[in-house]
A and B are shown apart, each in its own frame.
Chain A
């Protein structure tokens, strides 16, 4: 638990200092070839129901029978509350916002984090800043792993059919964050 909390803090600290290298919209609708990204999403270890890759970045865990980890399921819910009015159902994009399921694969975790926290703009295309919105910030890893799973075609469109139970660790972190 301590370890996870410190990772989150670390991530938050890094995203403040990292310059935004990507130009806005450069990730839009870029197709994903899942085979080229399998290493990035491969589960290295699990801690309290949260899955990580070998670089300690959160990732999804989708079983062949359609069961997803709790974070991915939670990400599905939070995405469709906070993000889908611009980015469309299932991260598929809209007439005015990019196909974010692909962005989640192409973008570095910390860049993704930075754009959600601080927003960005390219002409009349504007991503708002969600840094002070607990409904997004407390579930940012959930949304990230859900979109990553969508971009990698690891989960189909729609509501995940089966999910792992919510762990005590996740519950504690959620309560602490939402206050």
Chain B
């Protein structure tokens, strides 16, 4: 009897610890003085209740302190602030610094992993990393080489390590991880290398792998129940993925998972999107290529898919579906609903019921989007939920070795991963966008493991017949599917936004400006030029009763490729070549954290 009792209490203790680990993080996310997760909270709202810095006084903002990361590559993501310690990460080699906010930012510990530099060139588009996560007294780093490391948050000592992928096959990582309940859930990059994308859960305490769900493949690999997993309200049926691929092409089919994840603890679901099907040459992979380009809702504990929605069946433009899923509770037709809003690379802003997966809104969030006339919203139609493709811009219909011109948006999308923010006060989404179009010519390629598997030539240029710039920062009404206001930017806005209860919205620009605008009107209230272009996300925290705003500078990433030398429109003729602004005329490499505050 005694031993049974001991065992029982041991089990109870174990369960209690798991619950506590999560309660601890949830409490920290709810505490606006901390910035405990990259996305602000599980809803990806990137909204802070702090209002000491507000629309009336933000013009007085000053630089409080700065920190050099020592790395000169693209700096995405943001620092975390947990219990008076700031955690700053860098691109490859993925250094992590713990800075003591009680001691003027003195470095408590630093961690620099040893990684094979061979991983660098198999990362598409620079060696960015979107930051660390916190949970259960540990800092979680998902390195470029796909090793997941848990570090003691106080000491920096390694608690556990797990290898999530194989860089020699082109599997790499750029994303943060989702710490939820007693797990961390991680994704994978490598859609340009024919990687079969997946999400994987690890035990937060031990690093033990718990489950892995692929984006494409047989039902057991993708963890679908043909009867229970639904697509727009209907069961998906058996072999829903593999019957949309020719032969075994799904094995190198892409659908990677490198975006921002959201979680709904009540529903016990987490949400994320899958990337492009491999290759970029659509003629080489007939079929809808499910479930690439898809929004997934999966059970946090089992990994099983509850519902899916494929936004871009049979992609012809590299419109990855990985962008963030923003969760809100809003009233529609007098009824409060749990919603999911997603700004896809394909240029459409989607609003869905996140419990059922019902599609409510699908509208263009950049007026220049032209590859589709819109999504079929009639539930009784055979093509319900599908975008109607405009033949002129269909790289599939135009065929291999044909250059399709004037497609909007470009492959980098009307928005890439740079996350939007949501203010419950205004019920508006604040969206950093690209205003870039392209020519796209697909052609035949062959697959070699660990080698690029692209198969298309692209030329990108600012949207024609517009303001001439390559970006906009917009306010979006996710219920009406309408732009409320739009601020033209000279370059793509590649920085994650922050909305606050002070009626201010912050974002960074590729020239290096941190900007503050009014949440209602978009009126510019403040700007400051940081040392390098900004592709990081704005965060805020409070220390000793004072509110701070933090941003990483360090130009690079996708933006550092196309924009460094300027983009040109080959269709404009020789006269216009070189006529567009080159980012290199405005900024240079850097790696710096800038922290702002109001004067005392």
B528-562, CB under 8 A of A: which get 1 and which 0? 00000000000000000000000000011000111
Taking a contact as CB atoms under 8 Å apart, the answer to whether B124 and A85 are in contact is: yes
Q: How far is the CA of A93 from the CA of B582 in the complex (A)?
A: 12
CB-CB < 8 A to A94: which residues of B? Answer: 126, 560-561, 564-565
Bound: A136/B446 CA distance, A: 10
Can you list 14 pairs linking A and B with CB atoms under 8 Å apart? A80-B457, A81-B455, A85-B124, A88-B561, A89-B459, A89-B567, A90-B568, A94-B560, A124-B73, A126-B120, A134-B446, A135-B451, A136-B451, A178-B446
| Total A residues in contact with B, Cβ cutoff 8 Å | 37
Q: How far apart sit A11 and B400, CA to CA, in the bound complex (Å)?
A: 31
Which A-chain residue is minimally distant from B455 (CB atoms)?
A81
> Does A77 contact B457, Cβ atoms closer than 8 Å?
yes
Closest Cβ of chain B to A133, distance in Å, is: 4
Q: Is B21 an interface residue (CB 8 A)?
A: no
Chain B CB within 8 A of A82 CB: yes
Bound: A78/B455 CA distance, A: 8
Bound-state CA distance A88–B192 (Å) is 16
Closest 10 CB pairs of A and B: A158-B570, A95-B560, A92-B565, A128-B121, A80-B457, A133-B451, A126-B120, A94-B561, A77-B457, A81-B454
Residues of B within 8 A of A134 (CB): 446, 448
Residues of chain B within 8 A of A136, CB atoms compared: 451
Tell me if B446 and A135 are in contact (CB < 8 A).
Answer: yes
Provide the bound-state CA to CA distance between A169 and B563, in Å: 38
With a cutoff of 8 Å between Cβ atoms, the chain B residues found around residue A128 in the complex are 118, 121-122
Question: Interface code B269-296, partner A: CB below 8 Å = 1, 0 otherwise?
Answer: 0000000000010000000000000000
Contact A124 B120 (CB under 8 A): yes
Of A84, A121, A132, A157, which one neighbours B117 at CB under 8 angstroms? A121
> Does chain B have a CB within 8 A of A34?
no
Q: Which of A122-179 contact B (CB under 8 A)?
A: 124-128, 130, 132-136, 156-159, 178-179
Which residues between 80 and 132 of chain A lie within 8 Å of chain B, taking CB atoms? 80-82, 84-86, 88-90, 92-96, 99, 119, 121, 124-128, 130, 132
Determine if A95 and B126 form an interchain contact, defined as CB atoms under 8 angstroms apart: yes
What is the CB-to-nearest-CB distance from B166 to chain A, in angstroms, rounded to a whole number? 16
Please give 14 more A-B residue pairs, beta carbons under 8 A apart, in addition to A77-B441, A88-B562, A135-B446.
A77-B443, A85-B192, A88-B561, A88-B565, A89-B561, A90-B565, A92-B566, A93-B564, A94-B560, A95-B564, A126-B117, A126-B121, A133-B448, A135-B455
Name the residue among A95, A135, A158, A159 with the largest chain B CB count within 10 angstroms: A95
A76 within 8 A of B: yes
Residue B127 interfacial (CB < 8 Å):
yes
- B418-460 vs A, CB cutoff 8 Å, 1 = contact: the mask equals 0000000000000000000001010111101001101111111
B92: A residues at CB distance < 8 A:
124
**Closest partner residue, chain B, to A81 (CB atom):** B454
Binding site for A on B (CB under 8 A): 71, 73-74, 92-93, 117-118, 120-122, 124-127, 192, 280, 403, 439, 441, 443-446, 448, 451-452, 454-460, 555-556, 560-562, 564-570, 574, 577-578, 589
Given the complex of chains A and B, what is the CA–CA distance between A92 and B589 in angstroms? 16
Chain A residues with CB under 8 Å of B556's CB are 95-96
**Interchain CB contact under 8 A, B127 and A157:** no
Instruction: Check A158–B454 contact: CB distance below 8 A.
Output: no
- Chain B residue at minimum C-beta to C-beta distance from A125: B120
- Check B561–A82 contact: CB distance below 8 A: no
- Determine whether the beta carbon of B456 is less than 8 Å from that of A81: yes
- Alpha-carbon distance A130/B561, docked complex (angstroms): 20
Chain A interface residues (CB < 8 Å from chain B): 76-78, 80-82, 84-86, 88-90, 92-96, 99, 119, 121, 124-128, 130, 132-136, 156-159, 178-179
Residues of chain A within 8 A (CB-CB) of B118 are 126, 128
Q: How far is the CA of A88 from the CA of B458 in the complex (A)?
A: 11
> How far, in whole Å, are A157 and B280 apart by their CA atoms in the complex?
23
A127 vs chain B, min Cβ distance (A): 7
Taking CB atoms, residues of chain B closer than 8 Å to A95 are: 73-74, 126, 555-556, 560-561, 564, 589
Shortest beta-carbon distance from A175 to chain B in Å: 11
Q: In this complex, what residue of A is CB-closest to B576?
A: A158
Residues of B within 8 A of A125 (CB): 120
How far does the alpha carbon of A96 sit from the alpha carbon of B574 in the complex, in Å?
28
A76 touches B121 (CB 8 A): no
Could you tell me the distance between the alpha carbons of A81 and B445 in the complex, rounded to whole angstroms? 10
Inside 8 A of B280's CB, which chain A residues have their CB? 81
Q: What is the CB-to-nearest-CB distance from B597 to chain A, in angstroms, rounded to a whole number?
A: 30
**Is the beta-carbon distance between A89 and B577 smaller than 8 angstroms?**
no
Most chain B CB neighbours (cut-off 10 Å) among A78, A127, A128? A128
Whether B93 lies near A124 (C-beta < 8 A) is yes
Which A residues are CB-close (under 8 A) to B456? 81
> Which residues of chain A have C-beta atoms less than 8 A from B117's C-beta?
121, 124, 126
A69 vs chain B, min Cβ distance (A) = 17
Q: Which residues of B contact A179 (CB under 8 A)?
A: 446
Residues on A with C-beta less than 8 A from B457 are 76-78, 80-81
C-alpha gap A78/B81 in the complex (Å): 45
